[in-house]
Structure 1
């Protein structure tokens, strides 16, 4: 099964499905994504901070919509690698204090 470290370009549909399946966070959590068919071609779903803003700041000027993680996965979206990386850094920082 591929991991994010083994994918060096835009993931294929199959890789997106596999990466989404590896995401064990609550499927009822709210995330943000571009609408399907959006001009930005977005394929990731983004984590939201406590203010409802994208953890990674977003990748385009596109409009984002809030959906459940389950809905994002169902529509072929994959977790945003930058969001995951930033959240991991925050977790490491808070556990080292």
Structure 2
């Protein structure tokens, strides 16, 4: 009775470490921001403080985005997989990623 059905195991497979990583990275990011604001931010002009914040946010998104995107890609349904076979869809996705990265 304690065992989960097989379809539930497939849905939750790989979630535990991703959730743990998300919590650890979020707490670490908040601790970094708190330490930065309390001890280091007064030594720099506001423009550099904004740059540090944005760079730390970019690192946060990079660390968390990769494992969650991989998990979502693996959990696609059949209609979502078919969408990737449509003419031009992959090109639009990759172009959007490149345009987004070009703003960095």
Scaled by the length of structure 2, what TM-score is found? Answer: 0.24
Bigger proportion of residues as helix: 2
Scaled by the length of structure 1, what TM-score is found? Answer: 0.26
Structure with max Cα Rg: 2
